[in-house]
Structure 1
Amino acid sequence: MKVLQVLNHFLPQQTAGTEVYSWALSKQLQQHAVAIQIVIPNYGKETAADYVYDGLAVHQYAEPSVVDRSLIMGFRAPDGLPHFIAYLKNEQPDIVHFHELAGSNGITLKHVQAAKATGAKVIMTFHLAGYSCKTGTLVYKGEVLCDGVIDLKKCSSCYLHTRGYVKAAPYLVNTSAMLHQLAIDASKWNNKIGTALGTVPIIAKLQNDLHALIAHCDRVVTITNWYKRVLLANGISENKISYIPQGLPLAVNVDAVKEREAGSPLRLLFLGRINKFKGLHLLVEALRTIDPALVELSVYGNSDDAVYEQELRSKTSDRKNIVWKGKLQQQDVVTTMQAHDVLCLCSTFSEMSPLVIQEAFAAGIPVLASEVYGNAEQIKPEVNGLLFRFNDVASLKQQLLRLIEEKGLVAKLKEGIERPKSFEEVGEMYKRLYREVMADV
């Protein structure tokens, strides 16, 4: 069986959840005699390139597109699409497995449609919520968790709100809806006003694209139950969906966790990208009025928002109990976690299924997290961790004080941790899925 794993980037150029997941899956499938190739765009290049990473052949097809508004809006196909199609025809894979789509010069819906047209079986794994939410957050107007059902007016209002049109949103939505009913797509006007007035068609396209994506896939995979429910709520047939839960990509040798000495500070860990979506600012604010002698915070992660990071560094410059430690190598994550008592995950958006939670459980430490869907599905409150109210500093502080003051709470939460699923199990589930799909006529 020959399988192409298709995504926008791959290791070592980019190291994020989707890349690590695809790598781990590919390595597992290799062990089961599945011929694997990774396919990604060769951005800005008119020629293809190939390289090998950890025994995996990676093909970069030529993708010379110059990114402009028409490409971003999906009004034209990326210039590299013919090169992608030519590669598929040359390789003749049994299965083309997509892991992400982009709205520009990366992998798009047109690539999925092209793969299906070759006669290959097509699978899509959902790693993000952006296929059914234009903001990608599933947080309505940045304030409350959304049910995920695509509604033209509701989603248009939310999208405009996040774009800064707070007061004008009601008027823009009504006008956009009227134009949409008249079959006038203002999003094709090449200016900001056109984009704003074209919001309803933009949401309609999101909805249509989701159903077109499902129609061109033999099966789609959700790594969480909560996103499966979102797809079902949007009218996706259950027999098109396979649920394959998250696993731990790296095998880890777990040493005994070093217990905190009586009277010593609670050792907190933040591990993730330094941006507002990961919510480090909430944690910094919650710690501001807690005695620094009672708690320590180690901050690990790369920044993709320099202004945000600098602001937080300035706020914590006089706090000796908050230490910025930079990037952490993947192979060192679990052992570093074991030197801490609790992982803090303060997400301000609906992450799909944060791998860092599984890594914390592998390390034997509980998690304090915001109650967004991806966190809440993995954490059993009062059993293996604690949840605080979304975007609520007071609720976060309350849980931090419990961890500091309630004798035996951290130890109890540690006892409730179950060992995460291994990627060997994930690989077995995908192998069965591949066989099922290949058997379907």
Structure 2
Amino acid sequence: MKVLQVLNHFLPFQTAGTEVYTWALSKQLQKLGVEVKVIIPNKGTKEAGDYVYDGIVVHQFAEPSLVDRSLIMGFRAPEGLKHFVAYLKREQPDLVHFHELAGSNGITLKHVLAAKETGAKVMMTFHLAGYSCKTGTLVYKGEMLCDGVIDLQKCSTCYLHTRGFSKAAPYLVRTSNVLHQLSIDASQWNNKVGTALGTVHLLAKLKTDLHTLVDACDRVVSITHWYQQVLLANGIDRRKISFIPQGLPQSRTALRVENKATQRPLRLLFLGRINPFKGLHLLLEALKEIDSGMVTLSVYGNSDDAEYQSELRASTSNRINIYWKGNLQQKEVVETMQAHDVLCLCSTFSEMSPLVIQEAFAAGIPVIASHVYGNAEQIRHGENGLLFKFKDVESLREQIQACIDDPTLVNRLSKNIQPPLDFSVVAKAYYQLYQKLKFPS
């Protein structure tokens, strides 16, 4: 069986969750006898390229598109699409497995439709929520969790709010709705006002594109139960959806350290991207009212928001219990976690299934996390971790203080942690699904 894994970037040039997931899946599938290749766009060039990463052949198809508004808005197909199709026709895969769509000069819905036309079986794994949420956060107006149902009025209001039109949103939505009912797509006007007035049309297209994507696929995969419910709530056929849970791509389950909770101070860990979405500012604010002699915080991670990081570092320059540690290599993650008592995950949006929770469980340490969908699916409050109210600093402070006040709490939570699923199990589930699609009964 030959399978092509399709995404926008791959190792070693980008090492985010989707890339690591695809690498782990490809390696395990190779062990099962599957011929696997990865396809990514070679952006900004007319040349194709190939390289090998960890025994996996990676094909970079030529993608010379000049990025402009028409490409970003999806009004025209990327120039590299024909090169993508030519490669598929040359390789003749049994199955083409998409892991993300990005629009512009990346992988798009047009690539999925083109893959289907070659006669191959087509699959899509949802790693992010952006296919049913224009902001990609599933947070309504940045304030409260959303149910994920695409509603043109609600979603248009939310999207305009996030784009800086909060005061004008009610008027823009009404006008945009009238234009949409008249089949006038204002988003094609080449200006900011047109984009704003085309919001309802853009949200209608989001819903249509979701259904077109699923219809084009022989099967779509959700890695969480909560997003499976979002898909169903948006009218996706249950028979098209398979659930394959998250696993730990790099299995390194550490030996448990007993009686960690008796150690003082409480050693907290933040590990992730340093930007507002990860909520480090909430954690730093929560720690202000806690005795610095009773708790420490180690901060690991890269920043993709220099101003945000600079402000946080400046605000903690005189706080002797907060340590900025810089970046951490993947191979060091579990061992570093073991040197701490609790991981803090303060997400201000609904992540699909944070891998860092699985890594913490591999290290045997509990997690204090915000009560958003992806966190709550893995963490049972009071059993293997603690959940705090969404964006609520006081609620977060209460969970930290509980770990300080009760010396046995961290240990009790740790004992209830189940080791994460090995990725070989994940790969076998995919392999069985591939076989089912190739040889339908």
Q: TM-score, normalised to structure 2's length?
A: 0.99
Instruction: Please say if residues 123 and 220 of structure 2, whose CA atoms lie closer than 8 Å, have aligned partners that are also in contact.
Output: yes
Alignment of 1:30 onto 2:36 = no
Alignment of 1:196 onto 2:196 = yes
Counterparts of 1:391-430 in structure 2 under 5 Å? 391-430=391-430
1:22-76 C-alpha deviation (Å, 9 max, x unpaired): 0000000000110000000001111001100000000000011111111111111
* Amino acid paired to 1:317: S
CA change 1:219–1:318 in 2 (3 A) is same
* Amino acid paired to 2:146: C
Gaps spanning 5+ residues in structure 2: where?
A: none
1:181-232 C-alpha deviation (Å, 9 max, x unpaired): 1111100000000000000000011001000000100000000000000000
Instruction: Please say if residues 260 and 266 of structure 1, whose CA atoms lie closer than 8 Å, have aligned partners that are also in contact.
Output: no
Moved over 3 A (4+): 258-263
CA distance in 2, matches of 1:231, 1:318: 47
CA distance in 1, matches of 2:263, 2:360: 24
Q: CA deviation at 1:289?
A: 1.6
Instruction: Please say if residues 258 and 411 of structure 2, whose CA atoms lie closer than 8 Å, have aligned partners that are also in contact.
Output: no
* Amino acid paired to 1:381: H
CA distance in 1, matches of 2:383, 2:251: 24
CA distance in 2, matches of 1:263, 1:430: 43
Instruction: Please say if residues 268 and 342 of structure 1, whose CA atoms lie closer than 8 Å, have aligned partners that are also in contact.
Output: yes
* Amino acid paired to 2:111: H
Q: CA deviation at 1:288?
A: 1.2
Counterparts of 1:290-301 in structure 2 under 5 Å? 290-301=290-301
Aligned to 1:63: 63
Aligned to 1:431: 431
* Amino acid paired to 2:246: Q
* Amino acid paired to 1:310: S
User: Kindly, what percent of the aligned residue pairs are identical?
Assistant: 70
Q: CA deviation at 1:407?
A: 2.7
SS at match of 2:221: strand
Aligned to 1:158: 158
Q: CA deviation at 1:236?
A: 0.3
Aligned to 2:211: 211
Aligned to 1:90: 90
* Amino acid paired to 1:20: V
Instruction: Please say if residues 262 and 407 of structure 2, whose CA atoms lie closer than 8 Å, have aligned partners that are also in contact.
Output: no
Q: CA deviation at 1:257?
A: 2.4
Instruction: Please say if residues 403 and 409 of structure 2, whose CA atoms lie closer than 8 Å, have aligned partners that are also in contact.
Output: yes
Counterparts of 1:193-272 in structure 2 under 5 Å? 193-257=193-257, 259-260=259-260, 262=262, 264-272=264-272
Aligned to 1:302: 302
Counterparts of 1:287-436 in structure 2 under 5 Å? 287-436=287-436
CA distance in 2, matches of 1:149, 1:261: 42
Aligned to 2:172: 172
CA distance in 2, matches of 1:226, 1:439: 29
Counterparts of 1:59-138 in structure 2 under 5 Å? 59-138=59-138
CA distance in 2, matches of 1:146, 1:44: 37
SS at match of 1:378: coil
Instruction: Please say if residues 257 and 339 of structure 1, whose CA atoms lie closer than 8 Å, have aligned partners that are also in contact.
Output: no
SS at match of 2:22: helix
Alignment of 1:21 onto 2:21 = yes
CA distance in 1, matches of 2:156, 2:396: 31
Instruction: Please say if residues 260 and 411 of structure 2, whose CA atoms lie closer than 8 Å, have aligned partners that are also in contact.
Output: no
Residues 254-263 or 14-23, more deviating: 254-263
SS at match of 1:167: coil
CA distance in 2, matches of 1:347, 1:139: 11
Instruction: Please say if residues 51 and 58 of structure 1, whose CA atoms lie closer than 8 Å, have aligned partners that are also in contact.
Output: yes
CA distance in 2, matches of 1:163, 1:364: 41
Instruction: Please say if residues 30 and 36 of structure 1, whose CA atoms lie closer than 8 Å, have aligned partners that are also in contact.
Output: yes
CA distance in 2, matches of 1:401, 1:408: 13
Give the CA RMSD over aligned residues: 1.0
Q: TM-score, normalised to structure 1's length?
A: 0.99
CA distance in 2, matches of 1:288, 1:260: 24
CA distance in 2, matches of 1:427, 1:259: 36
CA distance in 2, matches of 1:44, 1:141: 35
1:359-413 C-alpha deviation (Å, 9 max, x unpaired): 1001000000000000000001100000000011111011111111123111110
Q: CA deviation at 1:263?
A: 5.8
Q: CA deviation at 1:103?
A: 2.0
Q: CA deviation at 1:254?
A: 1.3
Q: CA deviation at 1:261?
A: 7.1
CA change 1:297–1:182 in 2 (3 A) is same
Gaps spanning 5+ residues in structure 1: where?
A: none
